[in-house]
Amino acid sequence: MKAHADGALRADLAEDAEHEKPAADSQTAAPQASNAPTAGLASIVLLAAWAVPGLGHALLGRWARALGFFLAVGGLAMTGYLMGGQVFSLHARESFGTLGFLADAAAGGFYFLAHFIERAGPDIARATGNYGTRFLAAAGLANLLGLIDAVETALGRRG
């Protein structure tokens, strides 16, 4: 049974080699990014992936990953705001607040939407507010995963 599962997984991975290559047809709106590992490209991808979740992968032609990260990070961040989660600021009075800021800020553009979406401020007196705080931190950490994956792809270390 394990051998069958492994065989099925290998077949899927082999099939993936065709699906994960940047599309060469007219459906890609952005210009094709070079596959050559360059520090300049990696820097642009890093900033783009941080600012807008999934944009780094989109610049590299990895549309499925771009959409996945955008939906995941955006969904976590918006859910956190709607639940009244606490958004930590740069000038935190304690180390936990600083860690919270680093996690929240890793979500990039979604972090700066807090002032527009959470106008009433956090609601941490209730359990939903505490859950929202965790959602916001998870959004930043998920974007960090995507950012690292995008940079590794730009550097040619991943396909």
Tell me, rounded to whole angstroms, the distance of Cα 10 from its chain centroid. 27
For other proteins, the binding residue among 135, 140, 151, 154 (CB under 8 A) is 135
In whole angstroms, the minimum distance from the beta carbon of 19 to other proteins comes to 5
Q: Quickly list DSSP for 100-150.
A: HHHHHHTTTHHHHTHHHH-TT---TTSHHHHHHHHHHHHHHHHHHHHHHHH
22 belongs to the binding site for other proteins (CB under 8 A):
no
For other proteins, the binding residue among 32, 75, 112, 121 (CB under 8 A) is 75
Q: Are 32 and 61 in contact (CB under 8 A)?
A: yes
Q: Are 130 and 118 in contact (CB under 8 A)?
A: no
Closer residue to other proteins (CB): 15 or 96: 15
23 belongs to the binding site for other proteins (CB under 8 A):
no
Interacting residues toward other proteins by CB under 8 A: 9, 12-13, 15-17, 19-20, 64-65, 68-69, 71-73, 75-76, 79, 131, 134-135, 138, 142, 145-146, 149, 159
